Amino acid sequence: MYAIEFTTQIENGIVKIPKNYHNLSTQNVQVFILPIKKPKNAFNPREFFGVTSFSKSEIDSYLQASRDEWDNYLDEK
């Protein structure tokens, strides 16, 4: 398997393949679409600063305990 990467436009739901790739000898492909521009409403972690009353150590303890539960779950199976 090999991959080809190129930048193109999508117009009316149609992906425009560059001319130098029109003669590919395959009928089945997998397409990944990655937008080049950042969305206007991108996630901003600063908006969530101070939204909880729990301390960092309490959150870390909870996460550690949750992870330990999953580790034990896999050992039981």
Q: Which helix (H) or strand (E) holds 75?
A: helix 56-76
Q: What is the rounded distance in angstroms from the CA atom of residue 28 to the CA atom of residue 18?
A: 17
Q: Which 3 state secondary structure label does DSSP give 24?
A: coil
Q: What is the pLDDT of residue 72?
A: 62
Q: What is the mean pLDDT of each run of 10 residues along the chain (77 residues)?
A: 84 90 81 80 75 84 76 63
| Spatial contact of 16 and 8, defined as CB atoms under 8 Å apart | yes
The domain limits of the chain are: 10-76
What is the length of the chain?
77
Q: What is the rounded distance in angstroms from the CA atom of residue 54 to the CA atom of residue 8?
A: 46
Q: What is the pLDDT of residue 71?
A: 64
